[in-house]
A and B are shown apart, each in its own frame.
Chain A
Amino acid sequence: MSRLDIQKTYKLYIGGKFPRTESGRYYAVTNTKGNLIANMCLASRKDFRNAVVIARKAQSSWANATALNKGQVLYRIAEMLEGRKEQFIAELISQGEAAKNAEIEVNCAIDRLVYYAGWSDKYQQIFSSVNPVASSHFNFSNVEPVGVVSIIASENQSLLGLVSIIAPAIVGGNAVIVLASETKPLTAISFAEVLHSSDVPGGVVNILTGKKEELMSHMASHMDVNAIIYCGKDENHIKNINELASNNIKRTIFYKKGDWTSSNSESPYFIEKTQELKTTWHPTEV
């Protein structure tokens, strides 16, 4: 007698927990044959609003964690993802990827996490400076995280595109709220499970599944979000985001990249985009 397997329920990931959407709504994700893969939570603006409150609360203690600690956490995410490689490959295939591409994507995502783990205690040395001002002052500039960042993830490469944006943002000390790929959302929630087992403090990464049309305007206009990252090519979206972001001079970052496996898909500049620069003066005479 063959065994019936237990199907996974995909919920949201907010504050280190997996709640359902407060709206109770869903949307169905089907495979290329039209069969149901899963019912995803259709996140509401209230879910987003709650996630921002939680992200803000978690952000300052995450920012204050040592660079060493952040690097070790990111390395742990890589360890956990490596351990679930087969599961992710299968899930990407179920969402329509070719088997070979799925494997490349997962390997690349793992290596990307290790890459950014390694930047945790180094990007400061690249982007900070001691400035030779013409007065008796010690003057130094150092980078700090912008704070809370909304992220609209790439539609394709639903794992690698996600990791390539989340990793540099959080290694820099930010807390993020991510809207997953609308057509391929399963990976994002499975990735949330990986985050959850990796010592990432609750609230540092929050993942919502739902419709761009419904949530994007809130992600761009929310007055307590410091920056927004949009992955995609739609010029209307980009214009809309820039207009709404102006409400609180939100920093806007756009990536039109289609293929995150290319060599210019990782660099410390991805970290730098979600950093502020602070300059301090102190006299040096006695």
Chain B
Amino acid sequence: MQKKDTSIFKAAWTYDEAPESTDHIQIKKKYELFIDGKFTKPIKGNYFDTINPATNKVIASVAEATTEDVDVAVKAARKAFGSWSKLSGKERGKYIFRIARLIQERAREFAVIESLDGGKPIRESRDIDIPLAANHFFYYAGWADKLEYAFPNRTPKPLGVAGQIIPWNFPLLMAAWKIAPALATGNTVVLKPAETTPLTALKLAEIIQESGLPKGVVNIVTGAGETGASIVNHPDINKIAFTGSTGVGKYIQKAIAGTQKKLTLELGGKGANIIFEDAAIDQAVEGIVNAIFFNQGHVCCAGSRLFVQESVADLVIQKLKDRMETLIVGNPLDKNTDIGAINSKKQLQTIENYIKIGVNEGGEIYQPKCNFPKEGNWCEPTLFINVSQSHRIVQEEIFGPVLAIQTFRTIDEVIEKANNTPYGLSAGVWTQNGSKIFHLTQKLEAGVIWANTFNKFDPASPFGGYKESGFGREGGLHGLKPYLKFE
């Protein structure tokens, strides 16, 4: 097909800065650990800085929990478990409803802090992260007194103390995904937020205090890998829930082997996003953008492998490039920003490394021109065209705004290639043909399949992976199971 010159459609009207106001938010200079209902100094007295990745400036100093602190937290959680698990489901639910409402009341403050601490655009934290987090608490609050309906012929009971380790890509939302179902089912929690994004979890601790939640039911211990290991290895924890890389997930699964600890893992992915020739092409292109550039591509279920049917490949790629011209990359706190800062220097290095690999492997690279601020971690939205399953950038998770594009010809071919990966978290299917959708959803080996949409989340919708993307589900009725035992 003849390539068309689409440069005539260039946008010229540029938008002035539209910064979100930060006057009303409150961030302390120093944060302690949240254990047994109060903020407590770390025993060894060490602190680490959390940095704004868009400016490289320090936002606050945060306590580092050592093994000793984790032990104090687990003891508090164990003590609280006694009365918390005996509280009626109705009353447990009311606490969780309160937490949901308090998040709603302070939504804007949370959104701003999330963007400052992690780098994601305010539009996303305001419109997606924070509302979903509040709604997650709202959803699970309602299950607390209804568990007998969720599992036919079973009397569900809580597990005890849950150790939870969450990543930096959706800090508050991941905290909600972990804490809400655990509490609704009667467990108590020791949670470690990621070391580059501790702030919204600590603000959540403030809300937990305000809600009157009995002390010790939720404990927040900040720190890095060592703190996480202390949680995983603590003998008095009944359940480990981990969201993060597949590499660390494997380490955890091995570490708890031989113990009685229950485990759920939500790990990495290399999602296949499949566009058929009979798709609504314009919306499919938007779907590509949502699949790989949402949250700078820091998404485990990102659609990072595009499969486009050869007959429409040129059209789709041209439209994608045109669409990328109108993506605004920059200050996360500007309301018009589409793509924010990369979460950390470390992650930026990882992404840049993969881009080098892609180029060296012979992938045809495309990056629109971007004007980055002087300070901060930035990466252009990047396409690698004409690559194949054998390229490393097609096999390995990059966790950045980098899309690998392959063509395909038949349905069987694309199913085979989409499944040809150790991962199995998500997939996208774009076609207007209903039977094709149902056929593909039956054949694709992924825990979440999006037909004619992508990166859609809802507290009522179960989320989780096949294969090395992990096991266990979060969200929906199925999200209760990982926190219960059945007598």
Pick out which of these stretches binds chain A: B52-60, B90-98, B360-368.
Answer: B90-98
Q: Which residues of B contact A2 (CB under 8 A)?
A: none
Could you tell me which residues of chain A, from 111 to 170, have a CB within 8 Å of some CB in chain B? 111, 114-115, 117-122, 125-126, 138
Nearest CB on A from B282, distance (A): 23
Nearest CB on A from B330, distance (A): 32
Q: A118-B145, A282-B438, A284-B438 are in contact. List 10 more A-B contacts (CB 8 A).
A: A71-B138, A114-B94, A115-B90, A118-B144, A125-B460, A126-B149, A126-B477, A282-B435, A283-B435, A284-B435
B170 at the interface (CB under 8 A from A): no
A contact residues vs B (CB 8 Å cutoff): 67-68, 71-72, 75, 111, 114-115, 117-122, 125-126, 138, 267-268, 282-286
CA of A130 to CA of B146, assembled, Å: 22
B248 at the interface (CB under 8 A from A): no
Could you tell me which residues of chain B, from 431 to 452, have a CB within 8 Å of some CB in chain A? 433-436, 438-439, 442
CA of A115 to CA of B92, assembled, Å: 12
* 27 interchain pairs, CB-CB under 8 A: A68-B139, A71-B138, A111-B90, A114-B93, A115-B145, A117-B142, A118-B141, A120-B142, A121-B142, A121-B459, A121-B460, A122-B143, A122-B146, A122-B460, A122-B477, A125-B460, A125-B476, A125-B477, A126-B477, A138-B438, A267-B149, A282-B434, A283-B435, A284-B435, A284-B442, A286-B433, A286-B435
Q: Which residues of B contact A68 (CB under 8 A)?
A: 135, 138-139
Q: Which residues of B contact A72 (CB under 8 A)?
A: 138
B contact residues vs A (CB 8 Å cutoff): 90, 93-94, 97, 135, 138-139, 141-146, 149-150, 411, 433-436, 438-439, 442, 459-460, 476-477
Chain A residue at minimal CB-CB distance from B104: A72
Interface secondary structure of A, over-half rule: helix
By Cβ-Cβ distance, the 8 closest A-B pairs, closest first, are A118-B142, A284-B438, A138-B438, A286-B439, A283-B435, A125-B477, A121-B460, A284-B439
Interface secondary structure of B, over-half rule: helix
**Are A286 and B411 in touch, CB under 8 angstroms?**
yes
Chain B residue at minimal CB-CB distance from A78: B97
Q: Which residues of B contact A114 (CB under 8 A)?
A: 90, 93-94, 97
CA of A121 to CA of B460, assembled, Å: 7
Q: Which residues of A contact B477 (CB under 8 A)?
A: 122, 125-126
**Are A283 and B146 in touch, CB under 8 angstroms?**
no
Q: Which residues of A contact B139 (CB under 8 A)?
A: 68, 121-122
CA of A120 to CA of B139, assembled, Å: 9
Q: Which of A75, A121, A285 contacts B435 (CB 8 A)?
A: A285
Q: A117-B142, A118-B146, A120-B142 are in contact. Are A75 and B438 (CB under 8 A)?
A: no
**Are B146 and A75 in touch, CB under 8 angstroms?**
no
Nearest CB on A from B459, distance (A): 8
CA of A282 to CA of B142, assembled, Å: 33
Q: Which residues of A contact B145 (CB under 8 A)?
A: 115, 118
